Amino acid sequence: MPLVKFINADNEIYEVNAEIGGNLMQVALDNGIDEILGECGGSCSCATCHCYIGDDWLAKTGTPDDTEQEMLECALAQKVNSRLSCQIKITEDLDGLIVHLPEAQY
């Protein structure tokens, strides 16, 4: 299982194992990462699973498609490395992934 490191706005680190084939949002929810809300259940119709992907991981997580990009425009404090965690599929290549969490989703 790939290891994912979530880092919140207070620089607290949560290391969790992620099941291959799932998505990053579900990993966060399953492991009690409170900064990820996932109100739409992962259907890419809200921005409450917004996160920031560590710069070294951007190529491995891919780029947002048009639908995700539109939803990201609703996210607070959007950056160039912003992603919706529901749109990132967990693969072996993401072992060690670093995900920064926003201070708030609203």
The CATH number for 18's domain is 3.10.20.30
- Average pLDDT estimate for 31-50: 97
| pLDDT band (50, 70, 90) for residue 85 | very high
| Number of separate domains in the chain | 1
- How far apart, in whole angstroms, are the C-alpha atoms of residue 100 and residue 59? 16
- Enclosing domain of residue 20: 3-100
Count Cβ atoms within 10 A of the Cβ of residue 96 and give its class: 0-12 exposed, 13-18 middle, 19 or more buried. middle
- Average pLDDT estimate for 35-64: 97
Which pLDDT does position 103 carry in this prediction? 95
Which pLDDT does position 83 carry in this prediction? 98
Asked if residue 54 is part of any domain, the answer here is yes
Asked if residue 105 is part of any domain, the answer here is no
Asked if residue 16 is part of any domain, the answer here is yes
- How far apart, in whole angstroms, are the C-alpha atoms of residue 93 and residue 45? 26
pTM above 0.75, yes or no: yes
3-state SS track over 29-97: HHCCCCCCCCCCCCCCCCCCCEEEECHHHHHHHCCCCHHHHHHHCCCCCCCCCEEEHHHCECCHHHCCE
